[in-house]
Chains A and B, each alone.
Chain A
């Protein structure tokens, strides 16, 4: 997994490079938007971590330019600015995720993994979490090679959670994924399907309920 870090602060850039290196990524560090464009032209990267506050040309412009040229590489933006509107701007311009400095490094690693996994899921339609393998195209999931027997709705929920692994998925969103025209479903139905899914997944993966908000699919890291 190759990651390009675009950060002009040497101390932070170096730390991020080392952290990602320790986590098993091959990370390269550049300090400007121009250098980032050159690197992305020359080499295939799986992910770009882009600081908004770059000298001369800022990170938002860089990402906008990349998307404008049709580049689909996942982008995680780092910023020293606060503000939900900055977050919205970044996501609107084509960034996939957003973190505010200072941050905890494990959180950064987790988000990088999630972004790369999601991009791969879109490209190859297969996602792997430890022993759990999910094949999006064929709507199949397997633990240690054994296929899981999932109903259509259980599958819909698993797909939705897996594609947003590590992030909060609202109950409404899950409800929308299992609803069809034939039946009115309630939020209770979501809970039922999630608990059946949990039973079938066993210890291979963890679906965390966040009270009052929804669910989060956590990679089993331990």
Chain B
């Protein structure tokens, strides 16, 4: 049997209350989803990026070659226009402007130098660097700008000439940038698509898990019905089966404990009823006053024993751990209070207490006999602590949609400082007399807790006596 604190909900930290620590904790927590995501996405991204880089590197040489070929063509044209005049001097017959025509659409500056084999300038820019090898393009720098330089050796008549031609690389750079941009943009889009597809497939694959997790999380702690195994994925089927075995084990345990307590109640009550009835007979038959007194004391003890046994059993059976899966039913509070009052009319009468009720319709979801025991305990208590001539009033009804049962007496009251403690087992108020076991309010408290209700103890009407109220939660609309 568990203690009462077990019934209290275990508070779970939420993402909100830990600040950054909680977020870090969440990230570090193992997650199948994250693992799947990372192990699928990172290799895919790496393969894609490698592909893009190689595509880019492979795409560049043909472009470079095409540009170089154009440049070389221009060099050939230049070389073709070198003429030897009658004086034997070499000169370029092409007007300089025409050079622009050689390269249609060129945004780049064009430089050239035509020279003899010995290096004497025929035409163009004298300071243009001289490429070492003829016919293939090289990168160089000229007048502070990157250039592509290419040379061509030719001859006019028997005289060898060398043509060097260069252009700035703006167009090449722009093209290269466009190729790179296109590749990266494609990459980003594809990567995004892959990301979305992986996310979708991970989400879809884990959906059954999430469903089960939600199902388990949404269960109330006393719900011990097995989880339906039909839609459970094969990977966690044995885990769910193990959970179900645990559920049924706990349920069986609780059920057998409940059966045991019911049997114990039965086994105790019948002999106690017999002893009590036999003693009542003996007492009635006895003429000797002293012996009758002694029998009366035994009878009192038997009654007290019966009451305490009953209270202990009720307390044990009110424990939430004994009642998992017990379906609460609609309980009419009016009939609960009516039985509590009618069962105690005789006791009230013999104590000289006026017992009455004020009943308004009210009902709650709960366990009828436990509510009955709680109401009875409140009435018994109230009668016990109310002197002759006083009154005890039992009320039930609804206040702002919240049902309640309360018992007011005009008795000695409970000192305010002790109100919290008297609901503990075997604790009685310091000003109490009589022979109560101190279990009555503990029963009421436990029954109230089981029904998610509060037990409120306060001074009675006009500050006289005590009002004990079981305040149930507002009914769901």
Contacts and interface: CB of A to CB of B under 8 A. Distances in A.
A82 B264 CA distance: 12
Interface in B327-359: 329, 331, 335-336, 338-339, 341-342, 345-346, 354-359
A105 B280 CA distance: 8
A212 B281 contact: no
Contacts of B346: 104, 107
Q: Is the interface of A mostly helix, strand, loop or mixed?
A: mixed
Contacts of A212: 356-359, 393
Interface in A48-89: 51, 53, 78, 80-86
Interface residues of A, number: 35
Interface in B293-315: 303, 306, 310, 314
A15 B262 CA distance: 24
A119 interface: no
B266 A210 contact: no
Interface in B267-305: 267-278, 280-281, 284, 303
B269 A22 contact: no
A211 B262 contact: no
A53 B268 CA distance: 13
B372 interface: yes
Contacts of B357: 210-213
A18 B281 contact: yes
A67 to B, nearest CB: 23
Interface in A146-169: 167-168
A102 B272 contact: yes
- Most A CB atoms within 10 A — which of B270, B271, B314, B341? B270
Given A85-B368, A102-B306, A212-B359, A19 B281 contact: yes
A143 interface: no
Interface string B227-269: 0000000000000000000000000000000000010011111
Given A18-B281, A19-B280, A103-B273, A84 B341 contact: no
The interface size bin for chain B is 35 or more
Nearest to B342: A168
B271 A9 contact: yes
Contacts of B331: 84
Contacts of A10: 274
Contacts, number: 111
Contacts of A53: 266, 270
Contacts of B272: 101-102
A33 to B, nearest CB: 16
Given A84-B339, A102-B306, A9 B356 contact: no
A19 B368 CA distance: 32
B426 interface: no
A86 to B, nearest CB: 8
Contacts of A85: 329, 368-369
A134 interface: no
B373 interface: yes
Interface string A203-216: 00000001111001
Contacts of A105: 277, 280-281
Nearest to A168: B342
A112 to B, nearest CB: 14
Contacts of B368: 83-85
B466 to A, nearest CB: 18
A213 B314 contact: no
A213 B359 contact: yes
A80 B313 CA distance: 12
A16 B275 CA distance: 11
A83 B335 CA distance: 12
A185 interface: no
Contacts of A12: 270-271, 273-274, 277
Interface of A: 9-16, 18-19, 22, 51, 53, 78, 80-86, 100-105, 107, 167-168, 210-213, 216
Interface of B: 262, 265-278, 280-281, 284, 303, 306, 310, 314, 329, 331, 335-336, 338-339, 341-342, 345-346, 354-359, 368-369, 372-373, 391, 393
27 contacts: A10-B274, A14-B278, A15-B280, A16-B277, A22-B284, A53-B270, A80-B267, A80-B268, A80-B270, A81-B265, A84-B368, A86-B369, A101-B270, A101-B273, A102-B273, A102-B303, A104-B346, A107-B346, A210-B357, A211-B356, A211-B393, A212-B357, A212-B359, A212-B393, A213-B341, A213-B356, A216-B345
The 6 closest A-B pairs by CB, nearest first: A211-B356, A11-B274, A15-B277, A83-B369, A12-B274, A102-B273
